[in-house]
């Protein structure tokens, strides 16, 4: 009994003091000793003086005075070594304890060298490449004074109506986890004190990608088993990779806003996952808990702190109410000390406590930003992100000798090439497709015509243009634009039409219920097809689109997302065949919005539809088949790959052992190409309804024409685990089927059995 009491007391001490398994840092403890309650609360305050893009209706005021008073722990929206030095000086030279600031930024897909949007990058299935882009982003951002990044965004989403699918890695927890890890490693590398690395933030914890109706900021409701198996793994992967901070999401979970959700921020993140960094809110998400119905500003601020939130972004609820809450006994000073300690520890990890000006080297921007190598990487990354959806009559690649009609509202556009959420990039540096075509095929005959507006709907255009003109509606009539384009098309050998979404038609607060190509452009495409000329569509979008009509047309379709600063060159590389496309979709594309959510890993039902044909009393629709228009993992090449000799080297797997599933892949075409070889399993009998298929491994290989390679995937019990109804991570014995191919829509090839010892 005595021992029991002692250990309870010890645990209480651990809980109250926030003592983690990690060691205390003397420099941080010494600072905390000296700090007043107000100064500790000041560390929990994150402000933006403006200058960047505000993603809420509030921008901070009197930032300078607040920094001097020691009321600010970090700022964002400020860059350049000079401005960052000034900001640090305000803190270091004027505040009582001279504690430097965290300097945050949204470096989502590159800093000044803008890479393809994240959904595009994920389509490369190339983790080394993704890591490299994050490394370059960190090098450029730190050269410009940034030490803390609000990326990676790892929210799984199966809903293309939600505009922020553009910022993530798609629908799959396994692939999403690999991407999360690669990005954290790229930003942070192995040492955060190095001047070329910055602290990463995994966001948005949690489930932000599953809002009801695909409407941004909407509520989320999901079972624990679905969370653990299908949505949480990428956040956990980032934590396991050592991510320095975590950002909470705007949505609620089990009815409690994530920003004030103790189960999420303490029980799961800290206790179950062992996270030892700090947690920051999203933009005013503490204050937004008032609208969620959680009380007044003092209530929600106390609730968030007690739940495990350490830093309050922009809303200043912590700054203005926490002291009062301490005085009233609603929060303890220890809870505030714990949060302040985590912020100071982050500053220590970055080496800021020793050298506040380490990211203020004025010589670096010139040397490190937008270098030739960085732009080359951006071009390469873009080519790797493109997905050849369909190649009717091999219209692609186009011969450099052909007479080309380059048509479409995005064919000679600069303002949409970077894609959404590239606030640090400069769209004026991006290469339009027309320019890229001329660069790559200088002797070819290319005639350009706009052909259509992105949309003719002025009210819609206004909503898309909040950050500047992305949709420009021509003074010329739609008919005039169309007739000009048709004339150009008729006089050409081949038509390349660059069509799709403006960059801000996806991204934050850009949900759509109609995810087709806008009607103005659909009309253009129909008319171009009627000319009888070979037509290739170069499609741009930040999300999967409903292109059912276009897939039925005799056209080729190359999906290029929003490709980044080297857009035009990269598109020309692939259209002219200098680079063979190899991207694969990381989100299923629906036949229509009514099919959403449609994703490859859906769990089994009791009335499965055995075929694509409608059958009464089976789970299917009267009007469309169950399968998506284009499945996860899909993507063609200018060459062909043949899979053979697919086998497992054993019929049984014992815990502690491994077996190998292998396949021979042969390039049967005439040019070299890359293929993403994918391995899926299906757990035939288990205590929770299993996914029909689950990706457990993949490898991207290069094959010369005629070449064959054998790809081997070792499988261990770890690959077969899932969270059961007690949320234990287990593999249950029994039969597992396996599927191998270049798409999730691949055939079952065999099975093996997991046996107990």
Contacts with ligand NOJ by CB under 6 A lie at 55, 106, 150, 203, 282-283, 508
Least separation in angstroms between residue 446's CB and ligand NOJ is 39
Side-chain half-sphere of 41: how many Cα atoms within 13 Å? 21
Asked about 552 being catalytic, the answer comes back as no
Bond into 204 cis (ω within 30): yes
- The residue ranges of DSSP E strands in 436-587, in sequence order, are 445-449, 494-500, 535-540, 555-559
Closer by beta carbon to ligand NOJ, 424 or else 453: 424
Least Å from the CB of residue 110 to ligand NOJ: 15
Cα separations in angstroms, 348 against 68, 192, 283, 432: 20, 9, 24, 43
Residues 130, 124: contact at Cβ < 8 Å? yes
Q: Measured at the alpha carbon of residue 345, what is the angle toward residues 335 and 47, in degrees to the nearest 5?
A: 75
- Other beta carbons within 10 angstroms of residue 75's beta carbon come to 26
- Listed residue (603, 596, 629) closest to 693, CA to CA: 603
User: Which is nearer to ligand NOJ, 150 or 752 (by Cβ)?
Assistant: 150
Report the residue number, 89 or 508, with the smaller CB distance to ligand NOJ. 508
Select 278 or 283, whichever has its Cβ closest to ligand NOJ.
Answer: 283
Would you state the structure tokens that stand for residue 605, as one six-digit string?
């039902």
Q: Which is nearer to ligand NOJ, 203 or 380 (CB)?
A: 203
Q: Which two tokens stand for residue 295?
A: 């009380």
* Least CB distance to ligand NOJ at residue 106 (A): 5
Structure-block tokens of residue 305: 């702190």
* SS3 category, 172: coil
Q: Which of 141, 137, 34, 33 has its CA nearest to residue 78?
A: 141
3-state secondary structure of 202: strand
Query: SS3 sequence, 475-518?
Result: CCCHHHHHHHHHHHHHCCCEEEEEEECCHHHCCCCCCCCCCCCC
Rounded to whole angstroms, the Cα distance separating 41 from 467 reads: 34
Q: Supply the minimum distance, in Å, between the C-beta of residue 118 and ligand NOJ.
A: 12
Helices 333-349 and 317-327, packing angle to 10 deg? 140
CA of residue 740 relative to chain centroid, distance:
26
Residues 6+ apart with CB under 8 A from 586: 119, 122, 123, 125, 169, 170, 171, 172, 175, 632
CB distance 711 to 677 below 8 Å: yes
Contacts of 216 (CB under 8 A, 6+ apart): 162, 163, 164, 508, 509, 510, 511
- CB nearer to ligand NOJ: give 267 or 508: 508
CB of 84 to ligand NOJ, least distance (A): 17
CB of 465 to ligand NOJ, least distance (A): 20
Q: Which is nearer to ligand NOJ, 283 or 698 (CB)?
A: 283
Of 50 and 532, which has the nearer Cβ to ligand NOJ?
50
CB 568 within 8 A of CB 432: yes
Min dist CB 167 to ligand NOJ, Å, is: 8
Give the nearer residue to ligand NOJ in terms of CB position, either 161 or 591.
Answer: 161
> Which one, 261 or 639, has the nearer CB to ligand NOJ?
261
**Which is catalytic among the residues 126, 155, 216, 282?**
282
Token pair in block for residue 211: 């809002």
Per-residue b/e over 222-252, b at no fewer than 16 CB within 10 Å?
Answer: eeebebbbbbbbbbbbbbbbbbbbbbbbbbb
138 versus 387: smaller Cβ distance to ligand NOJ: 138
User: Which residues, including other chains, have CB under 8 Å from residue 613's CB and lie 6 or more apart?
Assistant: none
Minimum Å distance from CB 202 to ligand NOJ? 11
Tell me phi and psi for residue 304, to 5 degrees.
-65, -45
Q: How far is the CB of 56 from ligand NOJ (least distance, A)?
A: 7
C-alpha angle 462-468-471 in degrees, rounded to nearest 5: 50
Residue 283 or 318 with smaller CB distance to ligand NOJ: 283
CB 270 → ligand NOJ: shortest distance, Å?
Answer: 21
Query: How big is the CA angle at 183 (ends 179 and 185), to the nearest 5 degrees?
Result: 120
Provide, rounded to whole angstroms, the least separation between the CB of residue 639 and ligand NOJ: 39
Separation CA 169–CA 183 (nearest Å):
11
CA-CA-CA-CA torsion sign (627, 633, 635, 637): negative
Rounded to the nearest whole angstrom, what is the least distance from the CB of residue 272 to ligand NOJ in the complex? 24
- Name 255's Cβ contacts closer than 8 Å, sequence gap at least 6: none
**Dihedral (CA of 194, 195, 197, 200) sign:** positive
Q: Which residues are catalytic?
A: 282
């Amino acid at each position: 009994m005595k021992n029991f009491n002692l250990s309870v007391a010890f645990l209480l001490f651990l809980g109250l003091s926030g003592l983690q398994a990690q060691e205390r840092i003397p420099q941080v403890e010494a600072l905390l000793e000296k700090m007043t309650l107000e100064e500790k609360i000041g560390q929990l305050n994150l402000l933006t003086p403006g200058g960047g893009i505000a993603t809420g209706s509030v921008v901070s005021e009197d930032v300078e005075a607040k920094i001097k008073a020691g009321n600010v722990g970090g700022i964002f929206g400020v860059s350049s070594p000079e401005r960052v030095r000034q900001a640090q000086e305000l803190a270091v030279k004027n505040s009582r304890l001279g504690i430097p600031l965290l300097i945050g930024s949204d470096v989502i897909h590159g800093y000044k060298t803008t890479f393809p949007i994240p959904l595009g990058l994920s389509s490369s299935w190339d983790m080394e490449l993704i890591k490299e882009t994050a490394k370059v982003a960190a090098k450029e951002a730190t050269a410009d004074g940034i030490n803390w990044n609000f990326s990676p965004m790892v929210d799984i989403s199966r809903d293309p109506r939600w505009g922020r699918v553009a910022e993530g890695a798609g629908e799959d927890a396994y692939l999403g986890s690999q991407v999360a890890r690669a990005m954290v490693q790229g930003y942070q590398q192995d040492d955060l004190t190095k001047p070329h690395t910055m602290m990463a933030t995994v966001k948005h914890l949690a489930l932000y990608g599953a809002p009801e109706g695909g409407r941004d900021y909407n509520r989320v409701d999901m079972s624990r088993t679905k969370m653990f198996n299908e949505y949480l793994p990428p956040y956990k992967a980032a934590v396991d990779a050592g991510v320095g901070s975590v950002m909470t999401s705007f949505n609620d979970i089990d009815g409690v806003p994530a920003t004030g959700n103790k189960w999420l921020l303490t029980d799961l993140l800290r206790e179950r996952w062992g996270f030892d960094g700090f947690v920051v809110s999203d933009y005013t998400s503490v204050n937004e808990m008032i609208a969620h119905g959680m009380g007044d500003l003092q209530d929600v601020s106390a609730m968030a702190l007690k739940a495990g939130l350490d830093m309050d972004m922009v809303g200043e609820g912590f700054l203005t109410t926490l002291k009062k809450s301490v005085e009233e006994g609603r929060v303890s000073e220890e809870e505030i000390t714990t949060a302040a300690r985590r912020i100071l520890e982050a500053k220590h990890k970055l080496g800021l406590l020793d050298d506040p000006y380490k990211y203020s080297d004025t010589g670096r921007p010139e040397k490190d930003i937008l270098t030739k190598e960085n732009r080359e990487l951006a071009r390469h990354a873009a080519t790797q992100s493109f997905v050849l959806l369909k190649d009717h009559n091999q219209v692609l690649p186009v011969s450099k000798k052909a007479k080309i009609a380059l048509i479409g509202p995005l064919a000679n556009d600069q303002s949409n090439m970077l894609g959404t959420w590239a606030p640090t990039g400069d769209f004026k540096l991006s290469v339009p497709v027309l320019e890229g075509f001329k660069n790559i095929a200088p002797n070819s005959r290319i005639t350009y015509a706009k052909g259509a507006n992105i949309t003719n709907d002025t009210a819609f255009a206004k909503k898309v243009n909040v950050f500047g003109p992305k949709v420009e509606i021509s003074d010329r009539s739609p008919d005039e634009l169309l007739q000009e384009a048709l004339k150009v098309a008729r006089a050409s050998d081949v038509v390349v039409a660059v069509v799709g979404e403006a960059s801000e038609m996806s991204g934050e607060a850009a949900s759509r219920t109609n995810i087709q190509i806008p009607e103005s452009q659909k009309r253009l495409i129909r008319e171009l097809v009627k000319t009888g000329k070979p037509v290739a569509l170069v499609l741009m979008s930040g999300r999967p689109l409903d292109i059912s009509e276009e897939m039925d047309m005799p056209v080729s379709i190359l999906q290029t997302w929003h490709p980044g600063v080297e857009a035009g060159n990269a598109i020309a590389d692939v259209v002219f065949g200098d680079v063979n496309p190899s991207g694969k979709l990381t989100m299923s594309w629906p036949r229509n919005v009514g099919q959403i959510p449609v994703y490859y890993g859906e769990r089994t039902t009791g009335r499965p539809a055995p075929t694509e044909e409608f059958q009464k009393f089976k789970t299917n629709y009267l009007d469309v088949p169950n399968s998506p228009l284009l499945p996860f993992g899909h993507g063609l090449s200018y060459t062909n790959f043949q899979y053979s000799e697919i086998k497992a080297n054993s019929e049984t797997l014992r815990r502690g052992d491994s077996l190998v599933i292998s396949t021979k892949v042969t390039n049967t075409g005439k040019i070299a190409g890359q293929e993403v070889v994918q391995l899926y399993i299906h757990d035939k009998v288990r205590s929770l309804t299993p996914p029909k298929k689950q990706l457990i491994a993949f490898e991207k290989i290069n094959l010369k024409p005629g070449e064959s390679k054998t790809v081997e995937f070792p499988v261990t019990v770890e690959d077969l685990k899932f969270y059961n109804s007690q949320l234990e991570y287990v593999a249950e014995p029994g039969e597992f089927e396996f599927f191998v191919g270049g798409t999730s829509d691949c055939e079952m090839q065999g099975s093996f059995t997991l046996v107990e010892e």
